[in-house]
Amino acid sequence: MLIPLIGLVIGIAAGIFSGMVYPVGFSAYVAMGILACLDSLLGGIYANMREDFHWKVFATGFVINAVLAIALIWLGNQLSIDLSIAAIVVYGSRIFNNCSNISKHNIRNKT
């Protein structure tokens, strides 16, 4: 459980201190990629807590979630439809669901 958190801290620090700037036109893509990766990370933490974690499932899900989220935004831009709102709702609900499951798991196992 400690390794993913260390990786998250290192990744955030690298992003902050790298000084890398992306064009404003990519902001929707980057935001959706971050949401999708956060969803996968929380899902992996919950799976680890249930002792049902598999590296292959996590790694492929992490990459595929990010690619699908970015592809959804790109498709929406091509069709002149704002699909980012739909992606935010879906990934946001999945993130809250994973957080809820993690807290329920912690409460059940602490008592």
- Rounded to whole angstroms, the Cα distance separating 23 from 87 reads 21
- pLDDT tens for each residue of 26-56: 888 888 888 998 999 899 999 999 999 899 9
Is the whole model's pTM more than 0.75, yes or no? yes
How far the first Cα of the chain sits from its last, in Å, is 21
DSSP H or E segment with residue 21: none
- Rounded to whole angstroms, the Cα distance separating 63 from 36 reads 9
- Rounded to whole angstroms, the Cα distance separating 5 from 14 reads 14
Residue 91 sits at the vertex; the CA angle it makes with 90 and 93, to the nearest 5 degrees, is: 70
Q: What is the pLDDT of residue 80?
A: 92
